[in-house]
Structure 1
Amino acid sequence: MNLVSYFSDIEDFRMVNKCNHLLSDILLIGLFTYFSNGEDYEDMVLFAENHPDFVHEYCKLPNGVPSHDTFNRVFSSLDTSVLNKCLMDCGKAILDTLGEKQICIDGKKIKGVNPRSRGNTGLYIVNAWVSENELCIGQKKVADKSNEITAIPEIINSLDVENAVVIIDAMGCQKEIASLIMAKKGNYLLSLKSNQSELFEDVVCGFKTRSSDCFSEEWEYSSSRFETRKCRILQAKDVLLDENLSVWAGLKTLIQIESERHLGADIQKETRYYISSEEGLSADYFNELVRGHWGIENKLHWHLDETFARQKNEKKSFK
């Protein structure tokens, strides 16, 4: 894979013959630092200094490793829309060499943005995240949370979801989105809540009145928390009327997840429901699939908020 070629559309804004470092070297070191969970411009310098043999396979570095101030100036001055497209193209190319994909799509409000005008609710970003590889492969800015519904199809259309499982929260549980994913030869797992009231009521009733032979239970321990997750699945055709089933493209399986968290003396219980186009799979599989969806919140969103100080709306990071 020729990584330099993915940055060919980025115009070098610097003055000709007054640059000590190649733009491609700066961009590649930034990319490598991101892949290695680096946090800031100082980490870019450290990565290049600590991995000289690897870096020199891809970078020329005619004047040595750039300083953290150089990385800062360059990344802060780049056209972020062009850089974002190049990074997404690079990420998609990497995914083409990998196995089955679980693509999680979720929205995140940028904290630290204080809307001054009445009615301005802030800025949201909808991300597409591959849970197995912890890689963001798509991103779309929207003015408010309600616009996530229009942004999600745009992201799906920009991705190759064939043979992938697309996992979306309740905002994306829409008939049109399910149809789009199926049309692109993917599968879906959609969180189901009361925004789809008729389907939600039918599914809740189905799990209350029917038994399931497909059951899975997981336990998770940490120093301060104990959590259990119980998963049951039903066949959609056994629960829903034909006229209600037919409007959801490819719908095959209904999933119930009951979780119980023990935080010291505090006990939190929650029951969630999902619909899926996959069938003939175990409750263990769906339990793990749902757990993987939490990665976009626990890893990507947290990483963006904390590591890159996004809460404070500071300077653009290399991501």
Structure 2
Amino acid sequence: VSYNSYVILDEKTVVMDTIDVRKTEEWLKNLEKALNGRTADYLVISHMEPDHAANIQKLCAMYPDLKLVATMQTFNMLPNFFDIDRLAERKIVVKEAQTLPIGKNTLQFFMAPMVHWPEVMMTYVPEEKLLFSADAFGKFGTIDHDDDWVSEARRYYANIVGKYGVQVQNTLKKLAGLDVETICPLHGPILTDDLGRYLDLYNKWSSYTPEEDGVLIACASIYGHTEQACEKLADLLKEQGKKVEFVNLNRVPVSEAIGLAFKYSSLVLAASSYDAAVFPSMELFLLELSHKNFQNRKIALMENGSWAPTAAKTMMKYIEQMKNITLIEPVITLKSRMNAQNEEQMKDLAEQL
């Protein structure tokens, strides 16, 4: 993942956040080059998470007259991490829509609580139509590799911010009134083209609306029999004209599976029974989904158990905690491997999905 810090050069110089401790030396060299002999007048603290805030104390020591610009919640949190000399005279507490002139340009601050910590704020520069969006609109992956923005941004959103859809919706309503041509996030590339697309995706993700009408089959198989049944179901769904994606929970990082679950309208959970419950990779997936407020989906279940199937019962405990879930019947139970009856059940399931 990339960690982004920005510098504004105006009559006053502004540093927008610091950097993760693992990149301190590289960041300081880049900062010195950007300032080109000038001092740093302001440090805007968008977010206190250590991947962006690790060098606040170091920067304050380097620039004795540096002013810190942040919310009151940030200043309440700051002593938990650092001992800042003369903090009381350094701090500038900003509130909703407050402005700070820095020369030709103006900084305007908008609170974004729980996107994804309580102290988060965004900074808008109206003269440049530019938004410093904190963690919002960020993505996994590096900025020097041309990967798919949507898949990595979705995975980032679902795993980092996914729980806080209501708060993201509230923030999007604030941003709707701003004229924005450039978005500068704390992770990933600067966004300048087709911003409506990014805003639309964030609206869908934060309202738990599927991006696509399709089915994700999430499988936790032990010896391969459950996976074979999933492959059969995938073929039947494709015959129905449905878009299908398969994820092996034993092989794929759970963060990828979470991202894909946010993508599609339907989810098939297929797992082996294990220790009178469900195989651990499936339980971790469901635990993470429940943490992220996963909702508004169709879900179907397939379990496997050679003598006492328990997977479906365990999976249902998690599903019952989720909002607006349509459970597709029947629950398919395999006894070690699929049989002719299972195949007929899958045909019915495929039609319903």
TM-score (norm 2): 0.31
Larger radius of gyration: 2
More helix by share: 1
**Using CA pairs below 8 Å that are at least 6 residues apart, which structure has the higher relative contact order?**
1
